Every structure is written in structure tokens, then in C-alpha cells.
């Protein structure tokens, strides 16, 4: 029984890890159990069994899953076969890295264009794409049916970039700027706050009790 | 009263956001209240008041905080004035981006060297640094007292890179590889899983109920 529509955000975040691991062992392990997968990834096996059961109906008691079947079920659920066109705003170091990073295509993400408000950056090439001025944003979003936007501008310009994306019909925003964004109902923002992660790591090194 | 040693991970993750925002308004707002800060960042004001109270003793009922005092308290708590030497393993696109990204220095992070296992990459320059072979890792870590390691290698090589870092005395690992890492007690791993974030965004666009 597949209960895809009741998958929690927490489960959803773990699914790509399962998929990535399964692909790495597909040749060696024709079958795999939730317990083996849990052990390999350092997760609780009850949780893994529950996660897999929510996206695949092919698990067998005691026998586990056919690795290829489970990979197919995960790819289908995660929409790896479908294509998600996206635009990126902010062609600085991080923006250029994401543009040239190939890993996202495994998950269907295709960054169709990059934009920047700086005349010094517009016209330069990043990841085989020519950075465009913000005035081109609406046209590109409409022509490509873009509903996902990636923000890699400095914090001060993040809300403005976010507002422009929303005006162009974007419904999901991946925010790498170290600030929170205000969006209308129905628009999802996923914050990738590197500074917060760094704070946790640095504090661990100072020996503070962070209540971890 | 400062209760820095009882700050939770969740609070710790929010502190850099407060600091970043306060720096952006330091000229315009000589004083700021937890309520104003909460509104600006979209947080619950009770939570913000609690967060600030845990790292600064300078808040006044009704009056709030002197902006500069609060910035100083946050910088002190986050160790922005101290220097955290780090090494990075994996000089691919993401690794190179982190090497050339200036934003981390605001938080005391200094990536002293970059390493890669590929002969094709060793010797190339990334962010004004020459990428070194893995055989140099121990010496560099010892010479610089490195206890923080950043992993930007493909998942298949992540555990090996992690083990080498731990062998060299690293106590905190920032993992950008889409896999979980096994480390001994006392070593903290902070996972930066971009694929998981992407899964959440993509699923939102497909209109699934992710129980958000």
C-alpha cells in the first residue's frame, strides 16, 4: 500500500538518502531490508521501515525489498523522471557553483537561466549559461513554466529577489541567503542557512553544551 | 544574566540570523526590541526574547536592546572574533565555491587548505589556494591546529574522507555529501543535504500534501 500523500517532511528529507545509497549498492545487493538500509545510514530501522512503506508497496516481510524495485519506487515518488525547471537569482560564487553542479539533475532539477542585478555580472557565463539581467526574469519564467526559484544573493537583496520570483509565478523558493523571507500563502520557502550550520559546528569546538 | 551554556541547537541556529539582521539595521536603529526583531525575521517574539536573553544580559523591559550591545554580545557568543581554522576535502564545484565564498569569515571560519584525491585536481587553484593531495592532510591539520573539516566529495568517498579527518584530530565535520557519516563519540557531524531540500521543494510543486 502506497500512502504517498501522507509522507511527512521528515520522511521526505530522508528519501533521497535512501535512493542515493541504494544506487551505490544496486550491483552488489539484489535485495535489501529496511534493517540493512537503516544500519548503513545510521537511522532507526523502525523509522526506515515506515519511510519505505510509505512510498513503496513492494516490501516483503523477512525478505525486504528488491533493490531495483525500491529504487524505481523512490525515483517515481521523488519525481526524478520528471523535469523541474528553475531559475537562479544571484550569480556570485555560490550561485555559479549551483549552476555548474551536476548533481541536481538526478532529482529532475533543471536550472534554465541565471539572473543578477549587477551590470558587472550580467552577460558573463556561469555553468554554460549566460547570466541575464532581472528585466528578463518574467519572460523566461513564463516561457519555461518556471515555478521554482533559487536565491543566492546577499541577504539585503533576498526579499526583493523573492518578491520578483513570486510575481513571476514561482511557488517554491530555495533560499541560500542568510535571512528569512516573507511569502504569500501557497509559496514554500526552503532555507539553506550555512551560517546556522557553521554556528553549531563552531560552538561544538568551543566545548559549549549546546543541548545537542 | 547570560546562560550561554544552556543554549539549545535550535536557538544556536537562529543566532546568526539575528546578528545578520542587526548588522543590516545598526545605522538606522540604535535600539531594538525582541518584538521588532521577531517581526522582521518572521519568528515568534516569545522565542526571540528567550533566544536573546540566553546570550545577552543587556535587554531592558519595555526598552529592548542597544543594537550595538546586542551585536557585540551575539558576536562574542558566536565566536566571530575568534578564528576557526578548517580544511576542505573535495575541490569540485561546490568545494571551490565554498573556498572562494567570503561570507564565512564573518563567523571566524578560515579554510586554511583544500585537498582532493584526484591527480587531475591536485595542484589547481581554488579561491587563491592550491589544492593539495591527501598525503598532506595530516601535516596541515597538525601545523594549523585544525579541528573542523568540510567534506564536499561525492557520497561514495565521503566516509573515507571523514575517517581521514578524524584520524587527523578533527572534531567537527561539515558534510555536504548526500550520505550519512559514522564518527566516534565526541565528533559532531553537521549534514548539509541539498538533495533533501530539493525533494521538499519539488514535492510541494507536485501538490502533494507533505504534512508540512
What does the pLDDT look like over B140-159, one tens digit per residue?
999 999 999 999 998 888 99
Are A205 and B172 a contacting pair at CB < 8 A?
Answer: yes
- C-alpha cell, B32: 531594538
Q: Is the distance from CB of A202 to CB of B110 less than 8 angstroms?
A: no
Interface test with A, best of B196, B209, B212 (most A CBs within 10 A): B196
C-alpha cell recorded at residue B120? 587531475
Closest alpha carbon within chain A to B212: A9
List the pLDDT tens digit at each of the 212 positions of chain A. Answer: 444 457 888 899 899 989 988 998 999 999 999 999 988 877 888 999 999 999 999 888 888 999 999 999 999 999 888 889 999 999 987 888 788 776 788 788 999 999 999 999 999 998 789 999 999 999 999 999 999 999 999 888 899 999 999 999 999 999 998 788 999 999 999 998 888 888 889 888 987 444 44
pTM (two decimals): 0.78
Residues 61 through 100 of chain B touching chain A, CB cutoff 8 Å = 78-79, 82, 84, 93-94, 96-98, 100
List CB contacts (< 8 A) between B156 and chain A. 24
The per-residue pLDDT for range A175-197, each reduced to its tens digit, is 998 788 999 999 999 998 888 88
Selected residue of A109, A203, A206, A212 to mutate for chain B interface (largest B Cβ count, 10 A):
A203
Spatial separation of the C-alpha atoms in residues B32 and A67, rounded to whole Å:
56
pLDDT at position A209 is 41
- Which has more confidence, B76 or B100? B76
Where are the extended beta strands (E) located within A67-203? 84-89, 109-116, 125-126, 129-130, 132-133, 148-151, 172-175, 188-191
Q: Please, which pLDDT band fits residue B196 given cuts at 50, 70 and 90?
A: confident
Q: Select from B9, B194, B212 the Cβ nearest to the Cβ of A200.
A: B9
Quick one: pLDDT at residue B3?
44
For B199, the closest of A21, A42, A107 (CB atoms) is A107
Q: Which pLDDT value is given to residue A208?
A: 45
Amino acid at each position: 500500500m502506497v500512502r504517498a500523500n501522507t509522507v511527512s517532511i521528515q520522511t521526505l528529507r530522508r528519501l533521497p538518502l535512501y535512493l542515493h545509497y541504494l544506487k551505490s549498492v544496486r550491483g552488489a545487493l539484489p535485495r535489501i531490508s529496511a534493517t540493512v538500509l537503516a544500519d548503513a545510514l545510521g537511522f532507526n530501522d523502525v523509522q526506515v521501515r515506515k519511510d519505505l512503506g510509505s512510498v513503496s508497496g513492494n516490501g516483503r516481510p523477512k525478505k525486504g525489498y528488491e533493490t531495483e524495485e525500491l529504487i524505481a519506487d523512490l525515483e517515481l515518488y521523488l519525481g526524478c523522471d520528471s523535469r523541474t525547471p528553475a531559475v537562479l537569482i544571484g550569480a556570485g560564487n555560490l550561485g555559479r557553483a549551483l549552476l555548474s553542479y551536476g548533481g541536481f539533475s538526478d532529482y529532475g532539477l533543471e536550472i534554465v537561466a541565471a539572473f543578477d542585478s549587477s551590470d558587472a555580472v550580467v552577460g558573463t557565463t556561469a555553468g554554460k549559461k549566460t547570466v541575464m539581467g532581472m528585466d528578463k526574469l518574467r519572460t523566461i519564467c513564463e516561457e519555461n513554466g518556471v515555478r521554482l526559484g533559487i536565491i543566492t544573493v546577499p541577504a539585503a537583496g533576498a526579499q526583493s529577489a523573492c518578491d520578483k520570483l513570486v510575481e513571476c509565478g514561482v511557488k517554491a523558493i530555495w533560499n541560500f541567503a542568510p535571512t528569512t523571507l516573507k511569502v504569500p500563502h501557497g509559496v514554500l520557502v526552503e532555507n539553506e542557512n550555512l551560517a546556522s550550520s557553521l554556528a553549531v559546528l563552531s560552538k561544538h569546538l568551543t566545548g559549549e553544551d549546546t543541548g545537542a
